[in-house]
Amino acid sequence: MPTPTPPPIAPAPGWLVPRRTLARPVSWAGVGLFDPATSSVEASPVTEPTGIVFELRPPAGPSPVTFALSLDHALGGSRHTVVGVAGVAGASVATVEHLLSALWGMGVTDAHLRVAGPEVPALDGSALPFARAIGSAGLRPLGERPAAVVREPIHISVGPARITAEPLPPGSPPALGLRYQLEYDAPAAGLPPPIGPLHAGFSIDWAAPDGAAYAEAIAPARTFATAAEAQALRAAGQFAHLSPSDVLVLGPAGPLAGALRMADEPARHKLLDMIGDLALLGRPLVGLVSSHRGGHALNRALAAEIHRRGW
């Protein structure tokens, strides 16, 4: 875990990056990855610079619960990320990372998200349906805002998993560079690991985000599980509402059903998740982030440490 550092300091001046919102509303509906209930999300443009705002309607509540996306509203999650208002029944929504990833990857910094249901729809397990709809809607400018800028190296590790953040080299554009190394241990001596090792990388230039590149390189990468993980999850009563085509299940020889969309699809999905989890900062991040075996918890820990340092 990170070495203790002094209390937060006032944010230092840094890059101003363009804000963008949707040009028109878009919506999605479907069952969740973990919850079989049907949910819907409508993403709408905003006229004022609000950041990403969630509007949730608790099933038993008389009125919606509204909050701006920030680490204050991150409620954890092991295999996904949950946001909401702690202590308010029904005021949370799960598996937000794919939608948040698509918003950042397509260049959206400000939007109003109305969610009806407990979980963002899983759709095909990737961010592609979100990215396509956002791309069709188009974007419009909404002024500028300061980015969160990595100013010195951060290293966080838990067991063999680790994540680091480093400043960009001098003269670099205001961008978020991402690298991921996927590696699994062999289940037993003499047996191959269930996946990998695989490497993938991507970059978001906040001055001129390339939504088409995100939609081609990152958004299509689907949620995945090893055969052993999938068996354990089903034994625990999860994913029972999903068919083999809804979740990419991988063995040493590849997918148990269907085919990979890209040779390094699992590593690219980890980048997809990383983008969505880092969006919890509530503003664009400038720096280079690298992860080895990391997941949602480490992504959120890095975001929290960057926020705590006042960058």
Q: Please identify every residue annotated as catalytic.
A: 296
Task: Say how far apart CA 80 and CA 235 lie, in whole Å.
Answer: 19
- Cα-based distances in Å from 35 to 13, 161, 199, 241: 42, 28, 31, 8
Which of 300, 132, 146, 136 lies closest to 220 in space, CA to CA? 132
Residues ≥6 apart with Cβ < 8 Å to 174:
15, 17, 147, 205, 206, 207, 284, 286
Contacting residues for 207 by C-beta, under 8 A, at least 6 apart:
17, 18, 173, 174
Distance of CA 274 to the CA centre of its chain: 5
Alpha-carbon gap, residue 259 to 141, rounded angstroms: 39
Could you tell me how far CA 144 lies from the centroid of its own chain? 23
Residue carrying structure tokens 């990737």: 126
d(CA 23, CA 45): 6
Q: How far apart are CA 150 and CA 112, in angstroms?
A: 27
CA distance 240 to 248: 14
Contacts of 59 (CB under 8 A, 6+ apart): 90
